[in-house]
Structure 1
Amino acid sequence: IMRGLICGPKCAACGIVLSTWGVIMLAMLGIFFSVHSATLIEDVPAPDDIHQDDYPQRIYELYNKVGYNCFIAAAVYILVGAFSCCQMRLNQKKVSMSLVRV
């Protein structure tokens, strides 16, 4: 029994694919929120108490906050991808050790 082996090769491969897509998608969203993309205005959680005098500045702060959260989520996906890569290597090592014993 291999120590640290938690998931099989298919699950590890699925984790790699999903984490790669998650990093790409969330990094792009983080960039677009950071540059205050107008098409994402509906995804910014604007409160109802924003007054007209500070409206643009508050919206830009909310854009930056959501962009920052996207970058944090992308970092979590990087960790999941690294974990999946380790699992993939452990699975390959398990297969090669079983071939040596035969």
Structure 2
Amino acid sequence: MRGLICGPKLAACGIVLSMWGVVMLALLGIFFTTNSAVLIEDVPLTDEDTFKDLNPPHRAYDVYQKVGYNCFIAAAMYVVCGLFSCCQMKLNKKKEYLVQ
């Protein structure tokens, strides 16, 4: 069958992992864009961003926004992987139906 790359178990695993990745990265993206103080250790701030800036929170907030957008982009990539896994699952079911 054309386009069939992975089996049904791998496709199901891909769907589950994609759903988890979308939920987790979407939540992280929301928390980063709202400047959550708990995530300050995960923000790649340099000494220039904290000490040499005239308006220190502004540059830190910009870095928070960039990390948040990166999380949203990664969540979108997980959505694409999940759609691919769904297509693989449908192709596997179609193959199973044709074999019988």
Shorter-chain TM range is over 0.9
Q: Deviations over 1:45-69 (max 9, x none)?
A: 0011232522100000000000000
Aligned to 1:56: 57
Question: What TM-score results when the alignment is normalised by the length of structure 1?
Answer: 0.94
Deviation by residue 1:58-85 (Cα, 9 ceiling, x = unmatched)? 0000000000000000000000000000
CA–CA distance in structure 2, aligned partners of residues 7 and 64 of structure 1: 37
Task: Verify: 1:3 aligned to 2:2, yes or no.
Answer: yes
Q: Which runs of 5+ in 2 are unaligned?
A: none
Unaligned runs of 5+ in 1: none
Q: Structure 1: how far apart are the matches of 2:89 and 2:13?
A: 10
Counterpart for residue 95 of structure 2: 94
- Tell me the CA shift for residue 25 of structure 1: 0.1
CA distance in 1, matches of 2:53, 2:95: 63
How many residues align? The count is 98
CA contact (8 A) 2:5 2:88 kept: yes
Overall identity of the aligned pairs, in %: 65
- Greater Cα offset, 82-91 or 45-54: 45-54
Residue 83 of structure 2 aligns with an amino acid whose one-letter code is A
* Residue-by-residue CA offset, 1:3-49 (whole Å, 9 max, x unaligned): 00000000000000000000000000000000000000000000112
